[in-house]
């Protein structure tokens, strides 16, 4: 599903003392069927960015094109003054058509294709059993009860919860298991684009690794995955491409190996540990090939190579 941002601005609480410009003139085409990481400091506009893809927010100006759906500003735009009467009429008709689209059920279709897993998604659980909660999404998107349950079971097994969990109450589970249920709730709708916001926050290292392996598997099965994160190690290890947001603007879009291995303080980011290690070795006189550096194994190989 091609996603395209065109001159997108977003302002929270316009015309009030709380006004803040979250996004400023974003123009970007997001790659398909890739594992893309979105990074940037807190408040750089990452969450706003992903919510625009899901039409949970509408841009203040500009538009976001997601497949066939176009996310336009909610308020009708005033026509420029120098238009002729006919042109103004056409402008108004166009704006009206856009307004109507907002109310239509197209948004639901869009959300079926774009799954968004929020930070700490365990807060969205509410049904009395795990399987019912996971089936909630597919049911909303028009599946029958049986179909939805089947999808739910599939999704639950995918995230590593076996059938003994299906009929338990989601509120009796541990934090990590709740997170898995919540993620399964989005996976069950089989989205074409999956957006995950800080999925590993608060998880123990093993569970975090499992979660990331799951997203990688999903990406390899043909879904575009967008990962919002502060953890550069994850970015180095899993992402095919990285987008850096800074102050509401896209300042870099490149493969991770191109971003890392240099001074990142201008983006207030830190290099992943493997790159950090490589940089320090370099300072002491060992030149490494960091082009395909992803994890510790790659680093070890690179050192072996350089030592030869």
Partner 1 sequence: MSRFTMGRYVPYNSFLHRMDPRLKIYSLIIFMIAIFVNYPTWAMTYTMLGILFVMTIVLLRLAHMSLLSLLKSLSSLWFMVVFILIIYIFVPRYSEANADWYFLIGTYKVYWESLLEAGKVMLRLIVMLSVSMILTATTTPLALTDALDWYLSPLRWMGVPTPILAMIIALALRFIPTILEDVERILKAQSSRGVDFKHGHIFAKFRAIISLIIPLFVSSFVRSDELANAMECRGYDPTSKRTKYRKLHFQWWDLFEFVVVSAVIACFFYVAFGHFDAYATWWGLVTK
Is 38 near partner 1 (CB under 8 A)?
Answer: no
Sole window of 9-17, 63-71, 84-92, 202-210 interacting with partner 1 (rule: CB under 8 A): 9-17
Q: Of these, 44, 71, 189, 229, which contacts partner 1 (CB under 8 A)?
A: 189
Q: What is the 3-state secondary structure (H, E, C) of the chain?
A: CCEEEEEEEEEECCCCCCCEEEEEEEEEEECCCCEEEEECCCCCCHHHHHHHHCCCCCCCEEEEEECCEEECCCCCCCCCCCCCHHHHHHHHHHHHHHHHHHHCCHHHHHHHHEEEECCCHHHHCCCCCHHHHHHHHHHHCCCCHHHHHHHHHHHHHHCCCCHHHCCCCHHHCCHHHHHHHHHHHHHCCCCCEEEEECCCCCCCHHHHHHHHHHHHHHHHCCCEEEEECCCHHHHHHHCCEEEEEECCEEEEEECHHHHCCCCCHHHCCCCCHHHHHHHHHHHCCCCCCCCCCCCHHHHHHHHHHHHC
Nearer to partner 1, 85 or 103 (CB): 103
Is 137 near partner 1 (CB under 8 A)?
Answer: yes
Is 59 near partner 1 (CB under 8 A)?
Answer: no
Name which of residues 88 to 127 contact partner 1 (CB under 8 A): 103, 105, 108, 111-112, 114-116, 118, 121, 123-126
Q: How far is the CB of 308 from partner 1 (least distance, A)?
A: 51
Is 81 near partner 1 (CB under 8 A)?
Answer: no
Is 1 near partner 1 (CB under 8 A)?
Answer: no
Binding site for partner 1 (CB under 8 A): 12-13, 16-18, 51, 54, 56, 103, 105, 108, 111-112, 114-116, 118, 121, 123-126, 136-137, 140-141, 171, 185-186, 189
């Amino acid at each position: 599903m091609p996603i395209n941002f065109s001159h997108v601005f977003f302002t929270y609480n316009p015309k009030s003392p709380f006004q803040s410009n979250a996004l400023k003139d974003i123009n970007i085409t997001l790659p398909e069927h890739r594992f893309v990481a979105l990074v940037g400091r807190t408040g750089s506009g990452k969450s706003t960015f992903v919510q625009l893809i899901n039409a949970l927010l509408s841009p203040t100006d500009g538009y976001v094109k997601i497949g066939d759906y176009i996310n336009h500003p909610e308020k009708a735009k005033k026509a420029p003054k120098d238009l002729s009467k006919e042109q103004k009429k056409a402008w108004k008709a166009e704006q009206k058509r856009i307004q109507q689209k907002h109310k239509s059920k197209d948004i639901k279709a869009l959300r079926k294709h774009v799954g968004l897993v929020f930070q700490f998604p365990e807060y969205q659980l509410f049904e009395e059993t795990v399987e019912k909660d996971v089936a909630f999404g597919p049911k909303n998107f028009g599946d029958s009860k049986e179909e939805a349950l089947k999808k739910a079971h599939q999704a639950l097994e995918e995230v590593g919860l076996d059938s003994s969990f299906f009929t338990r109450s989601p509120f009796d589970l541990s934090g990590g298991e709740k997170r898995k249920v919540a993620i399964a709730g989005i996976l069950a709708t089989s989205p074409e684009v999956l957006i995950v916001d800080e999925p590993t926050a608060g998880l123990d290292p093993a569970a975090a690794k499992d979660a990331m392996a799951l997203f990688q598997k999903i990406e390899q099965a043909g879904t575009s995955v967008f990962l919002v994160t502060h953890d550069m190690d994850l970015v180095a290890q899993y992402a095919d491409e990285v987008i850096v947001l800074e102050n509401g603007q896209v300042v870099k879009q490149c493969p991770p190996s191109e971003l890392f291995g240099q001074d990142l303080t201008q983006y207030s980011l830190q290099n992943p540990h493997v790159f950090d290690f490589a940089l320090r070795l370099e300072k002491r006189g060992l030149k490494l090939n960091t082009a395909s550096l992803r994890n510790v194994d790659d680093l070890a190989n690179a050192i072996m190579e350089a030592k030869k």
